[in-house]
Amino acid sequence: MLKLTLAFCAATAALMGTPALAQDAPEAGQDIIVYGALPERDDVRDAVRAVSRERGSDQPLRRYFDPICLHVTGMNARANSFVRERILANAREADVAVDDRECRANALVMVVQEPAELIALLEERQPWLITSDNRTTIDASLAAQEDVLVWHNTEDRSAQGTRLAHSATVPGATGTASPLNVSVRVNSTSRARRLGAAHSTAVVSGVVVLDMDALVGMDLERVADFATMRLLAPGLEARRHTFDVPTSVMWTFAVNEGQSELTRFDRAYLRALYGLRPNAAASVLTAAVLREYESEQ
């Protein structure tokens, strides 16, 4: 039987990485000049459009509205704690609310040796974690033998991001209209509009599953930063885009390849996503990321 908490030595030692090589420190008062050109605006736009699965002006972007309550498991206690704290620090930097108290987890990062066995175990013991729509995506990832499984469960909320109240009546119904036979969530705080969505879409839980074999030899900082992007940005589909300019920690995610930490693009993406109004449409994300990217000093 697959254990959700795994103890390992060689893999953990490899994950911890090696100390950075010593570098000569600049003399006091000496200016440090960094040369290089920023990507063109079109490059940033193309990157956002390539990695985002969400489209259109009538569907709101998906993201967390409730504070993040994160649980990391699968490595030793020290590694789990390090990855958790770094992800939470990344979240705070992007102005994502974080719950550091004893709380019910709504965000999970799991490192396992057999992802397919984990999915089978979750379906048996915690079936509510995987909806039928998510199972289709997970099955496709397993069939492609991907090293990462990611899914998010969502619910509709008001345009302001607040939870919808349950009701057995239809708002505005009068006269002979009969109440509903069951109590359902009713969006009574929003009204129909010609532009923009009358509701928002909140992530109520998110899961990132990482194949342990793919992480051997990889620094924990990189593991945490990659998990940050996949967990906090549900609309990402990074595997179909090869990042060259601008760069991203999302691709390529392999030992000795790709970026070692969150890049300027990654940070701009998260700040833009969580800086938009709750019911913001997917069509406004590209411009928001570009603004954040160019505003960073």
User: How many angstroms separate the CA atoms of 9 and 75, rounded?
Assistant: 9
What pLDDT, on the 0 to 100 scale, is given for residue 183? 44
pLDDT of 70: 98
pTM value? 0.79
CA distance 53 to 152: 13
Look at residue 56 in the predicted model and tell me its pLDDT: 80
Query: Residues 6 or more apart from 22 whose CB is under 8 A from it?
Result: none
Q: Give the span between the Cα atoms of 157 and 65, in whole angstroms.
A: 10
Rounded CA-CA distance 220/78 in Å is: 11
Query: What is d(CA 232, CA 228) in angstroms, rounded to the nearest whole number?
Result: 6
Q: Which amino acid is at 97?
A: A
Per-residue confidence of the chain (297 residues) as pLDDT tens digits?
333 333 333 333 333 343 333 334 445 555 544 444 668 899 999 899 888 888 788 889 999 999 999 999 999 999 999 999 999 999 999 999 999 888 999 999 999 999 999 999 999 998 888 998 899 999 999 999 999 999 999 999 999 999 986 444 555 555 545 554 544 454 445 554 545 578 999 999 999 999 999 999 999 999 999 999 999 999 988 666 677 789 999 988 999 988 999 999 999 999 999 999 999 999 999 999 999 999 986
